[in-house]
Structure 1
Amino acid sequence: MGTATSTDLRVLRQHDWDQWYDNLVRAFGGVPEASEERELWNSLTELDRSIGAWDGDACVGTAGAFSFRLTVPGGASVPAAGVTMVSVAATHRRRGVLRSMMRRQLDDVREWGWPLAVLTASEPEIYGRFGYAAATYGTNIDVDTTRVRLSVPPGTDDVRLRYAAPADVLDACEAVYARRVPGRPGMLARLPGWERLRVLDPESDREGASPLQCVVAERDDEIVGYARFRVRPGWETAGPKGVVVLQDTEALDPAAHAALWRFLFDIDLTSSLTALSRPLDEPWMSMANDIRRCGLHVRDSLFVRLVDVGAALEARTYQAPVDVVFEVEDDFCPWNAGRWRLTGDAKGASCGRTTDSVDLALTVRELGAAYLGGVSLASLAGAGRVREVRQGALAEAAVGFGSVVTPWLPHGF
């Protein structure tokens, strides 16, 4: 390592974007992206919400934020900073560059008046010290479609499926996605331009598979679902062994959902279906005759950080009545530390400062983990991370914080 030097943090300017982004690419291995992918990220970057760390003329650190709206339990769409493009040059590790960027960024998010910051982590252990915690999980699947069959609901055969060029039906697919967003915590309302990421199809990203394909589900001439996927051909002595690589799929009702998944299971010359980060409670799993042959693997997905504890807890609803006083520790954002009284139910909530007796003691990380309803406060208590002071408060809060459907992040950022 060279001699330690101070770095200058500043808001990103357009003429610095290429150098800033090159630093990010290098930090993630240095493999260049396709030109169309790089150009799209350039257009999506929010310059006024992005910062760079500079050592003289060299960019040595990057961090950005997207202006997302995140669905929370109860269906509200809450402003959230989508923390992204975080990197530190290998020459400048262990000099506090990351910490200084995280400090500046969370101060900015607070100033913007947003109650939440969210991210996906390349290495989960990095972000805990800044108050982030895994709040959603996804299921990677690898289904043996020669052995697994789906028992579909009535009406499935009434759904018409047809192939369509992904770009030609992009607006209709986005309309389906938009209708799905309020129904599941963790989903993101996509801003204009983000839909293009879903049909970006550089050959370098296909890994031997076909160009992106799309099938839409229709009823009464209305598109009610879609699936975007690739097929990776394969052969062995016994015959074809192709793989269906699912990118994304959404449907507005059980029959359309079943029709699309049955189609994906039955594509000619294929014997397996793979997909990354699907919902843990996706309905097709309850249709499968042999879940053991579906190759389920769970991993963390969206990390949540409460920037304003009171505003964040007020923004969601609670599936059972809660009236709980939290003692919150938050070393990195000390304005959150102290006692908060949360009262709420399925109709709404309020949360404010209090001097009342403590019911539950925890850090802001536990609140972030439980915030979307996918991680139980009771489970965290079992791990020694939540302390029950008033008997019965843990059960009350754990039930109230739950979600009818599992929270899920539909795509990275």
Structure 2
Amino acid sequence: MRTVTVVGASLAGMYAARELRAQGFDGRLVVVGDEPHPPYDRPPLSKDFLTGRTDEDQLALTDPEETAELDAEWLLGVRARGLDARGRTVLLDDGRTVSTDGVVIATGAAARRLPGEDLAGVHTLRTLDDARALREELAQGPRRVVVIGGGFIGAETASSCAALGHAVTVVEAAPLPLVPQLGAEMAAVCAALHRRGGVHLVTGTGVAGLKGAAAGSRTTPEPEVAGPRNRPRYPRAVTGVELADGRTLPADIVIVGIGATPNTAWLAGSTLALHDGVLCDDGCVTGLPQVVAVGDVARVGGTRAEHWTSATEQPRVAVRNLLAGRTTETVRSMPYFWSDQYGARLQFAGRRHQSDTVRVVEGGIEAGAPGEGGLLALYERDGRTTAVLSVDRPRPFMRARRELTRNAEPVESVEPTAPATL
């Protein structure tokens, strides 16, 4: 291949670019990104960046020296609008085209939004610009903040807002946050972190809609009537969140954390198989020749994992298979994620099943929450450990994680698979 184009200047896209050079590709490397910013790390956006402990320079995933070594063409601030696989061309929304021999799809996912009127004071938190706007608004004085969604982004953002002195309520439609990831027993323990952090948790009811009023009529100060300078100005501002059970929560700021949708619309006419992401085999290889997908946009072997570790581990295998022109290696990494909430670090590794039993092997539970020294819990099934959860027990967790990894099916070579034809 003479040219490889990475579509998506994301974490996964950056790692793919690195792998291309590390694995010997010395041809033309093009990186397309819809944001104007060079690749940056997203996890701090809901934590240290939001609270002001981290600045933008510390988010960068690369430095000038590495950028020079990659010797890539960076097309930033431009969105891909199509993939012509037969003509080996990536179409851009500014009218340009990129002729290419190979494509790495790393376009990530976009935050889901609530239907209805656009109101000032309503935020999502997915991009650097999102975080800039929210941080600026939070800095304007104490606010009533409602976070819709008790997942990891919602919990981390609620924690940061509480640390900044705001009155925070988290609304979660499920009976408990994080039940799909942790199971009911440990989800209840981790949900208690909200209470310990001074945050009100409302569960078991959805959101019917948002209430708004003419900008400037809210009871709290609004120095810039329709929001911070880097957000659109709307004539109406949010005043409350109407719940499905009829209650209304007053709100000056609403943060919507209800998940993300993979960015695949630009691929609609490409004949790629799309279903909640780009469908790939276990080696990140799609149904089109010399096209692979990685990160949040990729459904690898039937699973789409929106985790930092997936975005950093998949590119090595994907690039190897892209350069080989067929699937020669598969992704077999152990699922792992972490979350920082209310001064506690949650870490989870493994594959939990709803029938697993949970056993706390270190630390304990006090008043329904993790004890002062945290806890380590093992998920078990048929006499073996399937997953491990830690709250502030990093060293025991790493030992348990290594044991899980040793017992997991390793990365292995497979019989070469010919690429599909168009």
TM-score for the superposition, normalised by structure 2: 0.27
**Structure in which a larger fraction of residues adopt helix:** 1
Higher RCO (C-alpha 8 Å, min separation 6): 1
Instruction: State TM-score, norm by structure 1.
Output: 0.28
